Amino acid sequence: MDVSSSLPPDGAAAPPRPPKLLERMRTHLRTRHYSYRTEQAYLDWVRRFILYHNKRHPQEMSAREVEAFLSHLAVDRQVSASTQNQAKAAILYLYRQVLGVELAWLDEVVQAKRPRRLPVVLTPAEVRLLLTHMDGTTGLIAQLLYGTGMRLMEALRLRVKDVEFARREIVIREGKGDKDRVTVLPENLMQPLRAQLHKARALHEKDLEAGLGRVNLPHALAVKYPNADQAWAWQWVFPSPVRGVDPRPDARTGEHLERRHHVYPESVQRAVREAAKRAQMVKPVSPHVLRHSFATHLLQSGYDIRTVQELLGHADVSTTAIYTHVLNKGGRGVLSPLDAL
């Protein structure tokens, strides 16, 4: 069986050929405005699930096969609980949404329990040391992550219109959970961001002269406002230095247009790792560690936990409360008996 094809009904004529299973799933995800990264992850997990069971069609399988695949990920591959749960979510999406299978066994598949881990947090001195070993666009992005508490993809998807210099704030659109929120714009980043926008505008004008300059717009805005994708306000704050063909068809024409995407997350992740290595830092450092440090340092400075919750975009204050562990110095504020000798 073709890994990505759906089984035709008995007696059905060959033409027209029904769409392949993964193509049906891709169309379903795009119709419901799932992000491109989620789309790619879900399709990859379904493909692995089918290959693991020797290319059997999902309609021929049940809870036993799903549990076997998830157990394989946990035992043989030793993936994290969050990765295992993402695989489960992709498979359940396939059955419930694409194949329309509503069977009791779907609810019986056990959800992996995510262990409670304390986040890696840098001290202010360590953050300063890390940032001094970074420069250029990736260095500015790292400063933005620490200065605003944004997630990496939120920073990379930042558009020109959402940087409010007069109000000293940044509007984060369609963050995690498809929610908007407002965070602070650091005074120290006002001038660097203006300089970045100046460089981004020069690239945009160069693209316009070449008959390009159309940025990807969310949902159906490209259809509602035909020329908005060329407007300066909708461009990326951190555009990629190179152009590429958009894997998603244009909402108006259905064509795969040549666009300038934003900076790739891998570029920032690599730059942060290399900076931490040059700084000889022992702690594991990633762009997300800067977000953890932002929240922790605000709480240490005396800001209310509800304020920090809003800046981070957490749905529940209990998620933000994990950063309060650093407020108790010396292991929950306990004086060791060894120090009393």
d(CA 260, CA 244): 6
Is 176 in the active site?
Answer: yes
Is 262 in the active site?
Answer: no
Q: Give the helix/strand (H/E) hosting 172.
A: strand 169-172
Is 325 in the active site?
Answer: no
Is 314 in the active site?
Answer: yes
Query: Would you state the structure tokens that stand for residue 156, as one six-digit string?
Result: 């990379």
d(CA 309, CA 306): 5
Which amino acid is it at 108?
Answer: E
Spot the catalytic one: 26, 88, 133, 151.
Answer: 151
Instruction: State the virtual CA torsion across 143, 149, 150, 151 in degrees, nearest 10.
Output: 100
d(CA 304, CA 309): 9
Is 151 in the active site?
Answer: yes
Spot the catalytic one: 176, 201, 243, 261.
Answer: 176
Q: Where are the alpha helices (DSSP H) in the chain?
A: 21-31, 36-52, 63-71, 81-93, 105-108, 124-132, 136-148, 152-156, 190-209, 221-224, 265-278, 287-300, 305-312, 317-320, 329-332
Q: Which residues are CB-contacts of 167 (< 8 A; sequence separation ≥ 6)?
A: 185
Confirm if 174 and 182 have CB atoms less than 8 A apart: no
Is 297 in the active site?
Answer: no
The DSSP line for 113-155 is PPP--PPP---HHHHHHHHHT--HHHHHHHHHHHHH---HHHH
Q: Which residue has the tokens 């994990």?
A: 322
Spot the catalytic one: 28, 72, 243, 288.
Answer: 288
If one counts every other C-beta atom within 10 angstroms of the C-beta of residue 265, the result is 16
Spot the catalytic one: 88, 157, 259, 291.
Answer: 291
* Catalytic residue positions, numbered: 151, 176, 288, 291, 314, 323
